[in-house]
Amino acid sequence: MEQTTTRQGATAGLPEEGRRRVVIEGVKPEIDGGRYPVKRVMGDRFVVEADAFTDGHDRIAALLRYRHESEAEWRETPMALLVNDRWRGEFQVTEPGFYVYTVTAWADRFLSWRHDLERREDAEDILVALQVGAGLAEATAKRAPGEDRKTLQAWARKLRDAKDGRQGRFLGLAEEFSAVMARHPDRRLATEYDRELRVWVDRERARFSTWYEMFPRSCLGDGQRHGSFKTCESRLPYLAEMGFDVLYLPPIHPIGISKRKGPNNALVAGSDDPGSPWAIGAAESGHKGVHAELGTLGDFRRLVDKARALGIEVALDIAYQCSPDHPYVREHPEWFQHRPDGSIQYAENPPKKYQDVYPFDFESEGWQSLWRELKSVFDFWIEAGVKIFRVDNPHTKPFPFWEWAIARLRAEHPDLIFLAEAFTRPKVMYRLAKLGYTQSYTYFAWRNTKQEITDYFTDLTRGEVREYFRPNLWPNTPDILTEYLQYGGRPAFMVRAALAATLGASYGIYGPAFELSEGRAREPGSEEYLDSEKYQVRHWDIERPDSLREFIARLNRIRRENPALQQDWNLRFFPVDNDALIAYGKFSDDQTNFVLAVVNLDPHNPQAGWLELPVEELGLAEDRAYQMHDLLSGARYLWHGRRNYVRLEPSQSPAHVFRLRRRVRTERDFDYFL
């Protein structure tokens, strides 16, 4: 029996439009299927690649579509075919905030026709093809406005009237004809990538910044009295002369009395011991208050303004924890975790105990009011003039909270910068970066050998993680005094400063402990400082003749003057036949600035070796000399070819930071260097 199919049955299960033949996949950059945005800074050329292809032999066209979140209309730019169906397009991001981007592509009948016409040889075939081309031109003319319509109609007539195949093919392949047709493609059956992706655009300091951490209470100089915001002002020229553009202050709030820690983290504090700034809150106020001995909120605002006048931004520590005396403990006990006896659980990271700190309970019934209050802490300090925040231990607070809070804060203030102090597992650090943290501390402090450094920074600058994770390199912090610094002496501090300043576009030091080579540990095997500034006011003689301030100032000046050092992705390591020596270089985007760093990782002994450079990639001839200018010492070296000898004495300077100067010959046969 003959079967029949109803009209409804014939279309059941069919796609809405089955004639869209192009496949789009493999779009890069794309993080977790578009769940998270990638990151760039204002002025960047944002490059997007995608695989786009179709069945058969038809040619396709592809466009990169983009718009700023504030725009309703899409902008478009053509994508170019690279190889093997891989396409690339780019646009410039000029405003802070989110840009949205996607890819569209279609089988283009005109491009396919033109491609075939180039290959046709038989005159009769060409004449037939010209009639097809005329039909395409006429159809396109109906979509085209004004002069383009007239031009296409005229071109269609020329193609139809052509009698000579050779002359007709010349007409069909004319660039003028192709240009007009390209302006009005038939996109009715275009494939749109199935998601819209996002890129978050920060200001320049998000990528290139130089941080200095300082306890304001130790700014007075004599170590006996408590410093203040006003005494900090006198330290600002010192920081500016060293070339720092971010001054990071640990918490500036009132410090609790109950369970206050004494010197060297002693469980019992004396009556004059100042306590840890991270034990936030006293009877008078908490996270929105200022420690009385530091001054007033007005004094803080003045410090922010004075710093800004010198090109320095003040960054503030946000630590979501409370001393037992914090008003939150009294007013909102539901925000804390309670022990079976009813007492509040203090912070622990066994075997470490922090009896002077209560963590928040983000799983409490009052979580919604807690979230709102914690965001308001940011709001308060933003209103006071702060745009950069270093967040203490963000990995111990829920990911959903950070995603919510950062999104709302950045919607109101897209110029904010958040530094995550999360020394934890890589996946946790990366998740925080995806959720909105602008920069992150890294494992740099503990990467000491050439292989460790090479492997780690290759991972950070070559893999997908670079799209959203911006490293900020710190050789020391108030919590981290590595074994390398404890036993390496002054040269070790020079080594780590040179590495941090040249490996990373953003780095920071905890000073004046760093420039004064403070390497005394509380006890063997500990990374805690002896007489840690976390628990007492310290006297720092910043005028000491052995200070590294001049060395650090030179490093920072080199960073400012060489665009190659102001980004991370351009890092490349070079072979040296001595494992105690590491060599790496960076090119600026326009390839005009090349900086080569060579560092002796052994702080105790001179080291020498032969370094290899890819001279052809540097635009150098094998048989010509070129000059390497050591920007640290001012010395100039004449090098030849690929292999050159280097020797570094750590007691003098454990590092070279070279700028390549190319030999140029003038019309008068006179050599000079650029």
With 70 as the cut, is the pLDDT of residue 252 above it? yes
Q: HSE-up of 62 (CA within 13 Å, CB side)?
A: 27
* Residue 234 placed within a domain: yes
Which candidate, 19, 111, 18, places its Cα nearest to that of 62? 111
- Rounded CA gap, 547 and 238, in Å? 12
280 and 389 in a single domain? The answer is: yes
577 and 556 in a single domain? The answer is: no
Q: What angle do CA 100, 101, 106 make, to 5 degrees?
A: 150
514 and 602 in a single domain? The answer is: no
Residues across the chain: 674
553 and 576 in a single domain? The answer is: no
Report the pLDDT averaged over residues 355-371.
Answer: 97
User: 101 falls in which pLDDT band (50, 70, 90)?
Assistant: very high
Residue 4's pLDDT is 46
Residue 667's pLDDT is 47
Contact by Cβ (8 Å): 376, 344: no
Look up the domain containing 655 and give its range.
566-673
* Residue 345 placed within a domain: no
pLDDT digits (tens, 9 = 90+) for 555-574: 999 999 999 999 999 999 99
490 contacts: CB under 8 Å, gap ≥ 6: 517, 546, 548
282 and 401 in a single domain? The answer is: yes
Could you tell me the CATH number of the domain that includes residue 74?
Answer: 2.60.40.10
pLDDT digits (tens, 9 = 90+) for 3-54: 444 445 556 688 888 899 999 999 999 999 999 999 999 999 999 999 999 9
With 50 as the cut, is the pLDDT of residue 669 above it? no
Which candidate, 407, 361, 237, places its Cα nearest to that of 309? 237
437 contacts: CB under 8 Å, gap ≥ 6: 391, 394, 402, 406, 418, 419, 420
* Residue 117 placed within a domain: no
Of 519, 535, 562, the domain-final residue = 562
Catalytic residues: 392, 421
484 and 617 in a single domain? The answer is: no
DSSP-based three-state secondary structure for 45: strand
- Rounded CA gap, 282 and 259, in Å? 12
Could you tell me the CATH number of the domain that includes residue 495?
Answer: 3.20.20.80
With 80 as the cut, is the pLDDT of residue 662 above it? no
User: 353 falls in which pLDDT band (50, 70, 90)?
Assistant: confident
User: 160 falls in which pLDDT band (50, 70, 90)?
Assistant: very high
| Beta strands across the sheet bearing 23-28 | 23-28, 45-53, 86-92, 80-81
* Residue 121 placed within a domain: no
CA quadruple 214, 215, 216, 222: dihedral sign? negative
* Residue 501 placed within a domain: yes
With 60 as the cut, is the pLDDT of residue 666 above it? no
497 and 574 in a single domain? The answer is: no
Residue 223's pLDDT is 59
Tokens, residue 372: 């709102």
574 and 554 in a single domain? The answer is: no
Residue 220's pLDDT is 83
* Residue 205 placed within a domain: no
> pLDDT exceeding 70 applies to what percent of the chain?
96
133 contacts: CB under 8 Å, gap ≥ 6: 110, 113, 114, 117, 159, 172
pTM of the model: 0.93
Of 51, 74, 107, the domain-final residue = 107
601 and 553 in a single domain? The answer is: no
With 60 as the cut, is the pLDDT of residue 425 above it? yes
* Residue 142 placed within a domain: no
Contact by Cβ (8 Å): 370, 335: yes
Task: Give CA separation, 316 vs 5, 203, 391, in Å.
Answer: 72, 18, 8
Residue 3's pLDDT is 47
Q: Which residues pair with 669 in a beta bridge?
A: none
Which candidate, 52, 43, 37, places its Cα nearest to that of 101? 37
pLDDT digits (tens, 9 = 90+) for 229-251: 999 999 999 999 999 999 999 99
Contact by Cβ (8 Å): 505, 208: yes
> pLDDT exceeding 90 applies to what percent of the chain?
89
* Residue 346 placed within a domain: no
525 and 593 in a single domain? The answer is: no
Residue 168's pLDDT is 86
With 70 as the cut, is the pLDDT of residue 672 above it? no
296 and 407 in a single domain? The answer is: yes
CA dihedral angle for residue 619, residue 501, residue 311, residue 287, rounded to 10 degrees? 140
Residue 221's pLDDT is 65
416 and 392 in a single domain? The answer is: yes
pLDDT digits (tens, 9 = 90+) for 178-213: 999 999 999 999 999 999 999 999 999 999 999 999
Of 107, 124, 139, the domain-final residue = 107
* Mean pLDDT, all residues of the chain: 94
Residue 15's pLDDT is 86
Contact by Cβ (8 Å): 569, 208: no
DSSP-based three-state secondary structure for 380: helix
161 contacts: CB under 8 Å, gap ≥ 6: none
Domain count, the chain: 3
